[in-house]
Amino acid sequence: MKKIVFILLCMIIPVIALSQETKHVIVDEVSVTPPKFMHSEQIVQIVQEETTSLLDYLTQKFVYPEEWKLLYQGIEVIQFTVTEKGELENFVAVNSIAPVVDDYIIELIKTTEGLWKPGTNNGEPIAMEKEVAMQIKTGEVEGSPYIKSFKALATNYYKQGSKQLLIKGHSKRALKRFDNAVQFAPYEKSALMMRGLCRYEIGDTDGARQDWIRLKELGGIDMEAPYFSQVKHLKGYEELAFILSE
């Protein structure tokens, strides 16, 4: 008998800072405060409590749908805008486990409508983007350990993808492995970089650029690292380097 096990790790990230710890930032002498999640009509004072409060809220609301039949797990990342009125709009699945999961999680986040205080710029309410990362795991019978952690799964898929791309030259097979790696580790920069190179190899230049722009938003990657010599022959390398250097 199976038991559903789910873990919701809610990383409430202001896109301008891309940092879970950042609550209040100064940009060129402009005071910027990210949007805040409010629970039970009480504004939470620090980010750690904010995250816990939202986690509690979403955990109470989350029910793994029976029709998913234990098929879906990974880390779903949804980006959305908190308007100057504290309303939610412009939902985008930045990392999609599956379309049905996108729809379910977006609807779940929408239930927090009315529980947000907008971000501010010098005290004035402004629209600001946020991200929620939700980790969903399915497990075996109660008390048994997971076969592998998400980190281990992502690492294994990454190694398989690298072998398919760099040793065997199978771009399409490699892409499937890197897709899996990103599914379980959406903030892993090397996986985003390699998936983009695979996409470029098979002609999906838009998808490649999307991965590399995301990579840059996450802080970029050291292009001087020794292992980059292994990918310089790939079609997309020059554009990757250009995007990261802009």
- In a 13 Å sphere around the CA of 47, the CA atoms on its Cβ side amount to 14
pLDDT at 224: 82
pLDDT tens readout for residues 91-119? 999 999 999 999 999 999 998 888 888 98
Structure tokens at 210: 């999307």
CB 18 within 8 A of CB 104: no
pLDDT at 214 over 70: yes
Structure tokens at 23: 């609550």
**Pairing assessment for the beta strands 88-95 and 124-126 based on DSSP bridges:** unpaired
Percentage of the chain surpassing pLDDT 70? 75
Burial (Cβ within 10 Å: 0-12, 13-18, ≥19) of residue 114: exposed
DSSP H or E segment with residue 13: strand 13-14
DSSP H or E segment with residue 132: strand 128-136
CB 186 within 8 A of CB 133: yes
- Would you list the domain boundaries of the chain? 13-136, 150-245
Other C-beta atoms closer than 10 Å to the C-beta of 207 total 16
- In a 13 Å sphere around the CA of 87, the CA atoms on its Cβ side amount to 3
* 150-245 maps to CATH 1.25.40.10: yes
Q: Predicted confidence band at 44 (pLDDT cuts at 50, 70, 90)?
A: very low
Other C-beta atoms closer than 10 Å to the C-beta of 219 total 10
pLDDT tens readout for residues 52-94? 466 667 777 888 888 887 889 999 999 999 999 999 999 999 9
Residues listed for the chain: 246
pLDDT tens readout for residues 160-194? 999 999 999 999 999 999 999 999 999 999 999 99
What's the CA gap between 137 and 24, in Å, rounded?
Answer: 32
What's the CA gap between 144 and 122, in Å, rounded?
Answer: 52
